Amino acid sequence: MNKRIEAALNDQIQKESSSSHYYLAMASWAETKGLNGTAKFMYTHSDEERFHMLKLIKFVNERGGVAIVPAVPEPAREYDSLERVFELLLEHEVGVSESINGVVDICLQEKDYSTHNFMQWYVSEQLEEEALARSILDKLRLIGGDKGGLYLFDRDMETAAANAVKAASTAQKA
């Protein structure tokens, strides 16, 4: 495996691992605030990010590189509001997208079309992640401070988590 691509993929492994922990910290915070649906959604997405990391690790190792399992910095424990959680989440996902685009760019520079092809799954996944975060943030902004609206939002997040688990299960079997 090209060393430059291996380094870029290992950097992405670290970002996916950090993403998993980021969602996990947000899940824990939401759970302690009585937002069980949001917590379930975040726990599910933490697992999804871990899956993204594992997929990269296996790819690097199968291509003859050495995947590095990273240490990750501790994420924040407290958040100002649920809206702020999703603002931070969107910012984070945009950063992950930029990183993935950087890996794709390196693949093109190094003419590694196999890795480029592999990374297209991540490009598509990030489009979905960003769109989902924006959509959720838009809903939270519509709700404002309405507690009834927040209750319904949290319930919808639990349904979204259940749907995500079903979709992930189907995708992993394919």
Q: What is the pLDDT confidence band of residue 165, given thresholds at 50, 70 and 90?
A: confident
pLDDT tens per residue, range 151-160: 999 999 988 8
Q: Is 31 annotated as a binding-site member?
A: no
130 touches 94 (CB < 8 A): yes
Q: Is 125 annotated as a binding-site member?
A: no
Q: What is the pLDDT confidence band of residue 91, given thresholds at 50, 70 and 90?
A: very high
pLDDT at residue number 166: 75
**Mean pLDDT (whole number) for 89-99:** 96
pLDDT at residue number 172: 63
**Mean pLDDT (whole number) for 35-61:** 96
Q: How far is CA 60 from CA 12, 14, 127, in A?
A: 11, 13, 23
* 3-state SS assignment for residue 13: helix
Give CATH for domain 3-165. 1.20.1260.10
Q: Is 21 annotated as a binding-site member?
A: no
Q: Is 110 annotated as a binding-site member?
A: no
Domain ranges of the chain: 3-165
The residue written with tokens 């639990």 in the block is 158
* 3-state SS assignment for residue 15: helix
Q: Given a cut of 70, is residue 122 above it in pLDDT?
A: yes
Whether this prediction's pTM lies above 0.85 is answered by yes
The residue written with tokens 């490009």 in the block is 123
Q: What is the DSSP string of 30-63?
A: HHHTT-HHHHHHHHHHHHHHHHHHHHHHHHHHHT
11-15, 100-104, 169-173: least confident range = 169-173
